[in-house]
Structure 1
């Protein structure tokens, strides 16, 4: 199994893809700058095409309908794309913290 987590971090440019390997799975983790969240779509395409990723999870900072749609489009819906969502009680503090 190969899966990936793409997360957003304020001020952090896309870094190299971090890979963790176990007996049963390959896990890829990569960051994008919060101000350029749309780069998650390009990274997702690369993960699918070059690394053979079979599933993608997006962090809560990327969990907007727009970003999810971009990732699905860029990967041509070849892999499941999921996203972390926060409960209603957490939305306001998250928006204030992340400026989204």
Structure 2
């Protein structure tokens, strides 16, 4: 089976509580881009994408492993879920971007300073 429908979820400033939904259709594939206010909206958005027929869902790296896991759990194996990943060398740059006024807010704690990114299991600072 070829990929014919997938979704990408990301956070963006100024988005309505329902999110902002955009569709890109080509001859062979439908892409649903969904901007949300916060990571808390991602599980419900992912369920809706799967209900619409998305074969896979990708999440912006700002969701981090905790919210990626929550989305995977919410879908209960219905479709694969992936996440954009950033290496530890980008933490300062990402923090600078997402800490500016008018952005979607601070990165989840897993992507901010003080995390042990060398551990096989990334944990927020205690």
TM-score, L = length of structure 1: 0.85
Aligned to 2:91: 91
1:71 partnered with 2:71? yes
Give the paired residue count: 96
Give the C-alpha shift of residue 59 in structure 1: 0.8
Give runs of ≥4 in structure 1 deviating > 2 Å: 10-16
Using the alignment, how far apart are the partners of 2:85 and 2:24 within structure 1? 24
Structure 2: which 5+ runs fail to align?
99-105, 108-126
Structure 1: which 5+ runs fail to align?
none
Give the number of the structure whose residues are more often helix, by fraction.
1
1:41 partnered with 2:24? no
Aligned to 2:7: 4
Using the alignment, how far apart are the partners of 1:24 and 1:11 within structure 2? 32
Pair 1:91–1:17, CA change in 2 (3 A)? same
Give the number of the structure whose residues are more often strand, by fraction.
1
Q: CA RMSD in A?
A: 1.4
